[in-house]
Chains A and B, each alone.
Chain A
């Protein structure tokens, strides 16, 4: 046989083990699913949203009805004929009553409404005649804020719509060619309903950006900590097995729970120390690139109390303990240091999935079955906890905390059981051609 081929086949046999192939396939599948999720979310965000239109416009005698024109322009821009299911004219709402408009939007299931001011036509007429300077007022009411990066796209679609209404109105007044900006017929304002409160002069994308600027650090930090400590503990287990130091340790007069606790706490401390260093680095990084003038969460009344920070710390601690528990269970099946390197991949992927979801899509935008999957991944909770606390998502906070306590205890329980069984030394053995998982609960 050709010498080169002989060496290549040897290398491939060593590298392409069932564990390494399975890890890569799992990663590929998960990234595929995630890509699909992001794609769906992007498409959803790129869709022109169904809007409502409310007019309080009262054109004076002889004044052109510019609202009527604007209503036609909206249909034109949407490419729709009247009546369109995408454009709903809402009537019977009292003027200057923000809560009433928001309630109506919620009743109708419409997330964006354009409210035309009572002087809309009058102001544009005066502007056209050169007897006034005020623009025709349109206030955009928003009833939905998406927390992911793609949340800002729907805002951009409305920006485009208003710009086109302004352009078409200008064309109708001046006609033909004109200098851009010569006339600004539309004056815009925003009202956003978010988390049970109404914010004047704020768009959803501004709220979304403010939330991201404050909470973006957490998913990255958690992902880094989990990956580092996961790698450390699995490699440590691989190294202990390879050097047979674990066998020595297990024959010493010390309880197995003490050995497990020692490994868990030691790795948790190391992971936290690494995490603090990364946090400091990333804090300076994000501070140095943050742009001025952005909305602060304090101005929205979204801050964390001392108790909230305690909950954040608890959730991070429990997530780290869960990660360590998973890693020690995986590490129990590692035969040597080399094999340990492959097994760190699943834990990294488990940390990366919620990180990308939190950063790009947002938990609320996910379909239910994906929400269940993200909830089930213990590392999702510390990534989402700050937003949940600020927004008062009670179920996600306490449900997540309860789940993490259960998950951490379960993994530690299983780890102790494994340390008390033969599996640590023998791995899972086949009996009558089948692997008996329950053999890990057989006590020494």
Chain B
């Protein structure tokens, strides 16, 4: 299977601070790749560079064969980024928000089909016509996941998708992500929830202090560290550093 995302020697400086230090990894098409690491490790900065929001200080990013330094506009056509704790326009209804976003990708009947797909993914029932300001955190997250997935991106970049959600909502959202991966969408996600990462990800990369310190499948990593859970892998690796 071809690589949907290739990151080579990626670095990012914020003034004097080196936030991401020579990170390299790749993600194959249809794969779910999890970025884990302690707070301030450089996960969100890496995701923001991959999603074209931040410039690279050095290195190379290729998304679906397109190079970030020359084809950022083209890359935006095949990615979908969902930031941590993101919101939607509060004065819009859920349906209006999906329609507003779909209009950036297509028009006419195709757009209506995209909106219907989004509404199916969000599964908000009648509340899709309520104002976004009235949504609970779980409903908001479902709407945003639907927004991110409905255009059919080749690479979905999801930052802490289940953060702050109750068990049922978190379960449903994980299910949605698994399903889109089954349909060929590549997923790059970051999470502090090691159970979630263990359950969902085909492969994991651990960043600490801006460096990629581990990479492999959950079972490979657990075997390497001689432990039973990804959480134990994380703690052992962090303590070793």
Contacts and interface: CB of A to CB of B under 8 A. Distances in A.
B59 to A, nearest CB: 15
A377 interface: no
Given A243-B86, A248-B81, A252-B104, A442 B16 contact: no
Nearest to A432: B16
Interface in B39-61: 48, 51-55
Contact of A430 (B16, B77, B86): B16
B228 interface: no
Contacts of B88: 243, 245
Chain B contact residues: helix, strand, loop or mixed: loop
A251 B53 contact: yes
Instruction: Classify chain A's interface size.
Output: 20 to 34
B14 A245 contact: no
A426 B83 contact: no
A250 B83 contact: no
Interface string A380-422: 0000000000000000000000000000000000000000011
Q: Which of B15, B52, B85, B147 has the most CB atoms of chain A within a 10 A radius of its CB?
A: B15
A121 B105 CA distance: 91
Contacts of B53: 247, 250-251, 425, 444
B64 interface: no
B79 interface: yes
Chain A contact residues: helix, strand, loop or mixed: loop
A431 B80 contact: no
Contacts of A245: 86-89
A12 interface: no
B175 to A, nearest CB: 23
Given A243-B88, A244-B87, A245-B89, A254 B81 contact: no
Interface residues of B, number: 30
Interface string B65-85: 000000011001101111111
A253 B15 contact: no
B165 interface: no
Given A252-B104, A430-B15, A422 B55 contact: yes
A429 interface: yes
Given A253-B76, A429-B14, A429-B15, A247 B55 contact: no
Interface of B: 14-17, 48, 51-55, 72-73, 76-77, 79-90, 101, 104-105, 147
Given A251-B51, A252-B101, A253-B105, 17 more contacts: A243-B89, A245-B86, A245-B89, A247-B48, A248-B81, A251-B52, A251-B76, A251-B80, A252-B76, A253-B104, A421-B55, A426-B14, A429-B14, A429-B15, A429-B17, A436-B15, A442-B55
Interface of A: 242-245, 247-248, 250-255, 421-422, 425-426, 429-432, 436, 442-444
13 contacts: A243-B90, A244-B87, A245-B87, A245-B89, A248-B82, A248-B86, A251-B81, A253-B73, A253-B104, A422-B55, A425-B53, A432-B16, A442-B55
